[in-house]
Amino acid sequence: MAQPPPPPPPSPPPPHAVATPGRDAPGNTLPARDRRFDMQLSRVLIWGTMAAGAVIAISAIVLVATQGRSTVRFTTFDPGLANGQSVAKVIHGVAALDPRSLLLLGVIMVIATPVLRVAFSLITFAIERDRLYVLITAVVLAVLGYSLFLAR
């Protein structure tokens, strides 16, 4: 009995596409510009997260080193520095090397990282002249801005 012929080899991806391992399906391809866009966005998130983590870690070390012997009462909540803080007060505290302000700066950076990602996406979509995604991203950025700065 004769064996059936082997299947034909898979066709190569189009010249404008590159392979993206680890995507939903094996051998999935994205256009090169989309791949670059993904890489740039991932760098924004990675570096923002790493910077925020470093600031939080340094501030925690400084806080423990300077105020580590303070008595902590867990029976009552004291909002302390966080109550009524503004970004300007935090930056002023960071300039004075206040460890609590450094910690709050790290938290602000954690919140700002995804917002920067949305802003970066808006710029990228505008460069690509993708009007629909510019509109959608602008609405998302406006909602984020409202919720962060204007909502009470």
Q: Report pLDDT digits (tens) over 25-52.
A: 455 555 666 777 778 888 888 988 999 9
Most confident range (mean pLDDT) of 6-15, 101-110, 134-143 is 134-143
In the numeric block, which tokens belong to residue 99? Answer: 């460890």
Q: Which residues pair with 29 in a beta bridge?
A: 19
At 24, the pLDDT band (50, 70, 90 cuts) reads very low
Q: Is there a contact between 18 and 37 (Cβ–Cβ < 8 Å)?
A: no
Please state the rounded mean pLDDT for residues 109-120: 88
- Distance, in Å, from the CA atom of 32 to the CA atom of 47, rounded to the nearest integer, reads 22
Residue 81 has pLDDT above 50, yes or no: no
DSSP state of 70: S
Counting residues of the chain whose pLDDT is more than 70, the rounded percentage is 72
Query: Residue for token digits 């801005």?
Result: 145
Predicted model pTM: 0.62
Residue 66 has pLDDT above 50, yes or no: yes
Query: Residue for token digits 């090397």?
Result: 97
Q: Which residues pair with 17 in a beta bridge?
A: 31
| Amino acid in position 115 | V
